[in-house]
């Protein structure tokens, strides 16, 4: 049996039997792995402290012949404790974990791990609006998945302009020219910035909070379209 040491972030936990848990962890070097944490629900368990949600941990496990390996030791590296300080941050945090679990294969690349760690770090920053961080995460997840909205040309392959109004075609993930459309140059600007800038910079863009709900709607529906 192979003994493996790595770093990981817990995506989810399921109680198993009387005192065990099965946890899903995303790592930078082994993709997504399922681990059996035996006895972790006992009061004196040495494993419990290293498998908290919204944390980065050092993990050791024995790789089994089946789908689930056995967790042998844990050590907490970083706990993003501010995420659970208010409902909005906590809600976004759980959504992030759920979406990454849903959209990743066991053999997923390191980019998913780094996206998660960066997202948790931004969510932990109380100076940053949690909805901006949510948009940043959704946008960069779509980019990794190869389904980011077209922010260069419209559905007819005509360059997007600053004077035109648009609707959005979710089937084709592209804007559609519409004289009474709800989207304009400001929406397109933010969508372009999401994959090039971080939430700290985005938060200082004039008017960004005024259109954040629109941006979230576009990205959330694109995610749904991609994962359905």
The half-sphere exposure of 135 on its side-chain side, counting CA atoms within 13 A, is 29
What DSSP character marks residue 158? P
Question: What pLDDT, on a 0 to 100 scale, did the predictor assign at position 228?
Answer: 79
Supply the mean pLDDT for the chain.
Answer: 95
In this model, does residue 73 exceed pLDDT 90?
yes
Note the residue count of the chain.
228
Q: Which residues of 146-185 are buried (b: 16+ CB within 10 A; e: fewer)?
A: eebbbbeebbeeeebeeebebebeeeebbbeeeeeeebbe
Q: Which long-range contacts (CB under 8 A, 24 or more apart) does 141-145 make?
A: 141/99, 141/100, 141/103, 141/115, 141/223, 142/219, 142/222, 142/223, 142/226, 143/195, 144/111, 144/112, 144/115, 145/103, 145/226
Does one domain contain both 91 and 169? yes
Give the domain CATH number at 121.
Answer: 1.20.1440.120
Q: Based on the structure, what is the number of domains in the chain?
A: 2
Does one domain contain both 65 and 27? yes
**How many other β-carbons are positioned within 10 Å of the β-carbon of residue 87?**
9
Does one domain contain both 24 and 35? yes
Does one domain contain both 103 and 212? yes
State how far the Cα of 129 lies from the Cα of 151, in Å rounded to an integer: 24
Token pair for 167: 């609707």
Does one domain contain both 103 and 192? yes
Does one domain contain both 47 and 138? no
Angle at 45 between CA 40 and CA 48, to 5 degrees: 55
Which domain-ending residue is among 81, 110, 145? 81
Confidence of residue 163 (pLDDT cuts 50, 70, 90): very high
Question: What pLDDT, on a 0 to 100 scale, did the predictor assign at position 4?
Answer: 93
Does one domain contain both 92 and 185? yes
Which domain-ending residue is among 58, 81, 104? 81
Does one domain contain both 202 and 107? yes
Q: Residue range 133-159: average pLDDT?
A: 98
In this model, does residue 220 exceed pLDDT 90?
yes
Question: What pLDDT, on a 0 to 100 scale, did the predictor assign at position 125?
Answer: 98
In this model, does residue 65 exceed pLDDT 80?
no
Q: Which residues pair with 153 in a beta bridge?
A: 159
Q: Residue range 36-52: average pLDDT?
A: 89
Does one domain contain both 64 and 145? no
State how far the Cα of 92 lies from the Cα of 173, in Å rounded to an integer: 23
Confidence of residue 62 (pLDDT cuts 50, 70, 90): very high
Give the domain CATH number at 21.
Answer: 2.40.50.140
Q: Residue range 132-161: average pLDDT?
A: 98
Does one domain contain both 64 and 107? no
How far CA 215 is from CA of 17, 58, 212, in Å, comes to 43, 36, 5
In this model, does residue 115 exceed pLDDT 90?
yes
Beta strands 32-37; 68-79: pairing state: parallel
Which domain-ending residue is among 81, 113, 148? 81
In this model, does residue 64 exceed pLDDT 80?
no
Of 120, 109, 103, give the one whose Cα is nearest residue 31: 109
Assess contact for 123 and 83: CB atoms under 8 A: yes
* Host domain of residue 31: 2-81
Confidence of residue 61 (pLDDT cuts 50, 70, 90): very high
């Amino acid at each position: 049996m192979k003994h493996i040491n790595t770093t990981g972030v817990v995506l989810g936990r399921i109680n198993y039997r009387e005192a065990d848990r099965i946890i899903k962890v995303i790592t930078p070097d082994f993709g997504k792995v399922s681990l059996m944490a035996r006895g972790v629900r006992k009061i004196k368990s040495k494993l419990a402290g290293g498998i908290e949600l919204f944390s980065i941990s050092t993990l050791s496990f024995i790789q089994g012949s089946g789908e689930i390996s056995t967790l042998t030791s844990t050590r907490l590296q970083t706990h993003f404790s501010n995420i659970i300080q208010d409902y909005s941050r906590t809600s976004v945090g759980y959504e992030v974990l759920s979406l990454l679990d849903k959209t990743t294969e066991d053999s997923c690349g390191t980019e998913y791990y780094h996206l998660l760690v960066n997202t948790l770090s931004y969510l932990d920053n109380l100076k940053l609006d949690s909805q901006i961080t949510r948009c940043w995460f959704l946008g960069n997840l779509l980019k990794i998945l190869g389904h980011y909205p077209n922010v260069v040309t419209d559905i007819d392959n005509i360059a997007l302009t600053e004077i035109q109004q648009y609707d959005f075609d979710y089937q084709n993930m592209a804007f559609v020219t519409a004289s009474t459309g709800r989207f304009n140059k400001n929406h397109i600007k933010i969508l372009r910035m999401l994959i090039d800038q971080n939430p700290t910079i985005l938060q200082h863009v004039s008017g960004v909070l005024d259109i954040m709900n629109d941006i979230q709607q576009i990205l959330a529906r694109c995610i749904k379209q991609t994962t359905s």
